[in-house]
Amino acid sequence: FADPTGRVQGYLHPDVIDEYGPDLCVGSVMVLSGAAILVSGPGVQRWLNVVPENVRGFYKAVGIEKSEMKKKNGGERVEI
């Protein structure tokens, strides 16, 4: 995940992946409300926990195909 402050680790509930998975890529936007942030220790690690109830909207990435993303990233895994 990425936001204005940088990147954060996260978990997508399987139902979220089932619904949005084919369109999840760099550049897509998921509007969330009430999502939980799990903290493993004082300032150690934070995880964004996204369940279907948190998703208020979704916008597909425009102007880039997934095959192009892979080429631009050197064929490596892209973090989303």
* pLDDT for 25: 86
* pLDDT for 75: 42
- 18-54 residue pLDDT tens: 999 888 888 889 999 999 888 877 767 788 999 999 9
* pLDDT for 57: 94
Domain extent, residue 23, equals 2-61
- In this structure, is residue 68 part of a structural domain? no
- Asked if pLDDT for residue 77 goes beyond 70, the answer is no
- 59-68 residue pLDDT tens: 998 876 555 4
Q: For the chain, how many structural domains are there in total?
A: 1
- Closest C-alpha among 22, 33, 27, 25 to residue 55: 33
- In this structure, is residue 77 part of a structural domain? no
- In this structure, is residue 46 part of a structural domain? yes
Distance CA 20, CA 51 (A): 12
- Asked if pLDDT for residue 76 goes beyond 50, the answer is no
- In this structure, is residue 39 part of a structural domain? yes
